Amino acid sequence: MKNKNKTENIEDIKVDASAEKAETGEEKAEEKAEEKACEEAEDKAEDKEEKDEDPKKEKKDKKDLEIESLNDRILRQMAEFDNYRKRTEKEKSAMFDMGAKNIVEKILPVIDNFERGFDGLSEEEKAAPFAAGMEKVYKQMMTGLQEAGLKEIEALNCEFNPDLHNAVMHVEDENVGENTIVEVFQKGYFYKDTVVRHSMVKVAN
């Protein structure tokens, strides 16, 4: 009888343990299910936030790219315009210098005639009112041309330079050095930094 009761007690304990184990398993399963549900809810919330933020971020990035592209285009256009302005100014200056040079070339024979005329006058004739008046006109014209950029090429007693002088005669002279210009037949001139006309000269040795 005692053994039977003892057996029943053991079975009851096993049943209770199994029930407790089942309950514990259910509780754990419920806890896991709740944790999983919470994690899923958190993931969904994060995904939603990312989805909400991504369009804004993408839109912002696209806007920044457009702004950079427009700024780059503006800078390029400004650089191109500046280059165009400089090139145009340079071309205009070159055209002006070319036109002025042509005018100077046409005036040089007039200057030559003035100087030949003065060289052919005696001292008494130079003192005459007409000659004195013509000399003043000549000096006034030369002053204006010099201010515009005309300059005489130095030649007499200088060493011959083919870039500046045109030798039309040679002479042997022991009193001067080699390749020295001893006479100028026609003056040469610069217009600014350009040779308008070479000096026509006689070179010794």
Domain contains 199: yes
Domain contains 83: yes
**Pairing mode, if any, of strands 194-197 and 165-171?**
unpaired
Same domain (yes/no): 93, 117: yes
Same domain (yes/no): 75, 122: yes
pLDDT tens profile 137-169? 999 999 999 998 999 999 988 999 999 999 999
**Which contacts qualify for 111-120: CB closer than 8 Å, 24 or more apart?**
111/138, 111/141, 111/142, 112/186, 112/187, 114/138, 115/187
**What's the sign of the alpha-carbon dihedral 11, 17, 23, 26?**
negative
Same domain (yes/no): 108, 78: yes
pLDDT tens for the 205 residues of the chain, in order: 444 444 444 455 444 545 444 455 555 656 666 666 666 666 665 555 555 555 555 566 888 888 888 888 899 999 999 998 999 888 888 888 888 888 899 999 999 999 999 888 888 888 899 988 999 999 999 999 999 899 999 998 899 999 999 999 988 888 888 889 999 999 999 998 889 999 999 999 7
Number of domains within the chain: 2
Q: Which two tokens stand for residue 88?
A: 């145009």
Same domain (yes/no): 137, 201: no
Same domain (yes/no): 130, 190: no
Same domain (yes/no): 104, 180: no
Same domain (yes/no): 116, 165: no
pTM: 0.57
pLDDT tens profile 5-31? 444 444 554 445 454 444 555 556 566
Last residue of a domain, one of 148, 181, 197: 148
Question: Does residue 204 contact residue 171 with C-beta atoms inside 8 Å?
Answer: yes
Q: Domain limits at 199?
A: 150-205
Domain contains 23: no
Question: Does residue 180 contact residue 203 with C-beta atoms inside 8 Å?
Answer: yes
Inter-axis angle of helices 129-148 and 2-119, nearest 10: 170
Domain contains 202: yes
CATH number of the domain where residue 119 is located? 3.90.20
Domain contains 140: yes
Same domain (yes/no): 108, 168: no
